[in-house]
Structure 1
Amino acid sequence: MSIKKVSILSIIIYFFTFFSPFFLVLISKNMLVPGVTFLYIISSCLMIFLYFTGKEPALIEQNSKLSSPVFMFLLGVSGIFLAMLLQGIVFSIESIFTGMPPSSQNTKKIIDVILKKPIFILATTIAGPIMEEFVFRRSLLSLMQPYSGFWISAGISSAMFSIAHQDGHFFVYFCMGLFFCFLYKITGKIWTPIIAHCGMNALVVLAQLAVYYGS
């Protein structure tokens, strides 16, 4: 299967999963969170399956020179803390210029859901980030880069990544998207930003839960 077909299928799977809560809530409100979590896990597994069955590598993956698995893993792990640092810096800058509080309403809503339905932590720390990396990094970059180059494609995909979070902190998520694109470009392995993204989300969630239970 070509990279174009894999990318388009991944995007279709993502949109189906993204809008699934609007349909699941009509069936049963009590099953909304477990249902969404289940769909997130299934969708992320489908994207991983498409990745391994695809015969054509993405353009970034073809041109990368630093594709060592050890380097990929180390950069992914260090990317967790670099992403946290970057997010804090951008939040502070945004707060100075806009007056918005340096906190995410999206994160607060997620924590509220996790406190009621702990299973949702699987969607937010593992399945969700995996889907977002396959779609906003690998798929969108693969479709756009041949026509616009890497950085323009990265900028467009990062803007879409930020809009998808519906948080109001556009610049914060935009910068995070660019950072994950950069990690992908350096190693040519989508697993690098996946490690960083999953690790970052896990740290944020655990920190918020520690604050809640410690207060």
Structure 2
Amino acid sequence: MPTNLSIKKLSFTMILLYGIVFFSPFLFKPFSRDIMISATTVTYILGAVLMIWLYFKNKKTANTLVEQEAKLTSPVFTLLLGFSGIFIAMIIQAIVFSIETTITGAKPSSENTQNIIAVILANPLFILATTIGGPIMEEFVFRRSLIGLTEAYTGFWISAIISSSLFSVIHQDGHFFVYFFMGFFFAVLYKMTGKIWTSIIAHCGMNTLVVIAQLMLHYGNIELPK
């Protein structure tokens, strides 16, 4: 009886796990707000830890085409592209956000980010979910799992478009192209090194900087120009 999963089975397992974690807050609604936030945070961290464990446990049998065909596989490139990707991602986010709001006339703010900051202000522990747990799970699901499942049928670029579209939709923010291009950029980072850790570093780092910036604006009573 085999003890390791194929990339297809592993991908479906991670997607199912992400779905359970994503909808877990509904299970905690009957409890107080603090308990709900704390329980959700723990669930996100446990979900991320479980995905990391599944990744290493099945590393020999569950490889994606991206990982098999990657050229820049050295840990040096993983770190360089991962950390430089933090700042490139923020630049891309700012540019696309500016273009999107100019064209569509949407509000110059992210409802998703504001909601997250409000939760963090109520319970600082939630920072762990937004800067570590959430990004790690999203990279394993939207980059590694979805691309791993579809790339053989569509090719990488179409697969990246599909996963980036779903990544944007799941955030329910109203700024589709902002999250789409962020997801697409993370997919490119993953493709360049064949290491999911590259996009994880960039994603976690970007979320951390965004949270820090928003908290500084809040506690400094600073208002962004309209």
Q: TM-score, normalised by structure 2?
A: 0.93
Q: Which residue of 2 aligns with 1:173?
A: 179
The yes-or-no answer on 1:157 pairing with 2:191 is: no
| Conserved? CA contact 2:164–2:181, under 8 Å | yes
1:138-185 CA deviation, whole Å, 9 max, x = no partner?
000000001111011110100100010000001110111100000000
Match of 2:44 among 36, 40, 44: 40
Residue type at the aligned position of 1:104: S
Residue type at the aligned position of 1:161: F
| Local SS of the residue matching 2:30 | helix
| Local SS of the residue matching 1:26 | coil
**Deviation at 1:30?**
3.3
1:116-135 CA deviation, whole Å, 9 max, x = no partner?
10000000000100000000
**Deviation at 1:102?**
2.8
**Deviation at 1:4?**
1.1
Residue type at the aligned position of 1:8: F
1:29-76 CA deviation, whole Å, 9 max, x = no partner?
431100100000000001001110112211100000101101110100
Distance (Å, rounded) in 2 between the aligned partners of 1:205 and 1:62: 35
Gap regions ≥5 residues in structure 2? 222-226
Match of 1:11 among 15, 27, 38: 15
Q: Which residue of 2 aligns with 1:49?
A: 53
Match of 1:81 among 69, 78, 87: 87
The structure in which a higher percent of residues are helix is: 1
Q: Which residue of 1 aligns with 2:224?
A: none
Distance (Å, rounded) in 2 between the aligned partners of 1:161 and 1:26: 28
Q: Which residue of 2 aligns with 1:119?
A: 125
Distance (Å, rounded) in 1 between the aligned partners of 2:191 and 2:123: 36
Q: Which residue of 1 aligns with 2:149?
A: 143
| Conserved? CA contact 2:34–2:123, under 8 Å | no
Distance (Å, rounded) in 2 between the aligned partners of 1:7 and 1:26: 32
Residue type at the aligned position of 2:24: S
Distance (Å, rounded) in 2 between the aligned partners of 1:61 and 1:5: 17
| Local SS of the residue matching 2:142 | helix
**Deviation at 1:28?**
4.2
Aligned-pair Cα RMSD in Å: 0.9
Identity of aligned residues (%): 62
Q: Is 115-124 or 28-37 further displaced after alignment?
A: 28-37
Q: Which residue of 2 aligns with 1:102?
A: 108
| Local SS of the residue matching 1:30 | helix
Q: Which consecutive aligned stretches of 4+ in structure 1 deviate over 3 angstroms post-superposition?
A: 27-30
Residue type at the aligned position of 1:51: Y
Distance (Å, rounded) in 1 between the aligned partners of 2:34 and 2:134: 21
Q: Which residue of 2 aligns with 1:204?
A: 210
**Structure-2 change in CA distance of 1:27 and 1:213 (3 Å):** closer
**Deviation at 1:101?**
2.5
How many pairs align? Answer: 215
1:179-199 CA deviation, whole Å, 9 max, x = no partner?
000000000000000000000
Gap regions ≥5 residues in structure 1? none
